[in-house]
Amino acid sequence: MKKIKKRLSKLILEFNSVGKKEKIFIFIILISCFLLGTIYPVLSARTLSNKPSDIASNQTLLTLKSSAKQTQVGKSFTVTIFLNSGKQGVEAADIVINFDPKYLKAASISTGPYFKLYPQKIVENSFVKISGTASYENNTLFISKGSGIVAEVEFKALSKTDSTQIALDKDKTIIASAGKNIWDKKIASLSLKIK
């Protein structure tokens, strides 16, 4: 106990010998650290609770989001495919999205950062298929998990309609983890009006 008091007295004497500008600088650093230490956990907890990655660890969600809810004939728009596996690793995924070729044409597929390897990007008349897999680099296996963008599909509107659907194919879409399909099979779809 005497050593602690002696060391504390020495620190106080050293602090008193520091100039006024240095004391102000030290005080600002201490206050900043205190504020960051108390405010950051509150802000990050609030942010995390609003993320789709805060789902039950046994649930895997696929979500489709469109850059437009309605469009015009001849115009293009993008559909983003989000995958959220919670805490489960995803070794591979085959994602098939169906659409009506009378109203829509898939123009292109841009891969997202969820997987490092995309062996298939297929654009057909009435569907698109995106396959992503785990990758092996430098003697390390990279298995994706959590929430992220798998791909973005650019569509072009072909003819007018009050409503056309873009939907995941529940029979052909597979999210594989440990040899099992972990997709919850909730059908994600979008409805689009074309003027």
Domain boundaries, the chain: 2-49, 61-194
- Burial-class residue 42 by CB neighbours within 10 Å (0-12, 13-18, 19+): exposed
For residue 49, the model assigns a pLDDT of: 34
For residue 140, the model assigns a pLDDT of: 85
For residue 163, the model assigns a pLDDT of: 95
For residue 134, the model assigns a pLDDT of: 92
pLDDT per residue of the chain (195 residues) written in tens, 0 to 9: 667 767 767 766 776 776 777 767 666 776 666 666 666 554 544 333 333 444 444 678 999 999 888 999 999 999 999 999 999 999 999 999 999 999 999 999 999 999 999 999 999 999 999 999 998 888 888 899 999 999 999 999 999 999 999 999 999 999 999 889 999 888 788 999 999
- Burial-class residue 181 by CB neighbours within 10 Å (0-12, 13-18, 19+): middle
C-alpha 108/C-alpha 64 separation (Å) is 16
For residue 127, the model assigns a pLDDT of: 97
For residue 45, the model assigns a pLDDT of: 42
61-194 maps to which CATH number?
Answer: 2.60.40.680
Q: What are the helix (H) ranges across the chain?
A: 2-16, 20-49
For residue 30, the model assigns a pLDDT of: 64
CA triplet 165, 171, 177: central angle to 5 degrees? 115
For residue 8, the model assigns a pLDDT of: 61
What is the phi-psi region of residue 74: left when phi exceeds 0, alpha when psi lies from -120 to 50, beta otherwise?
left
C-alpha 70/C-alpha 167 separation (Å) is 16
For residue 38, the model assigns a pLDDT of: 61
**Which tokens sit at 134?**
């785990």
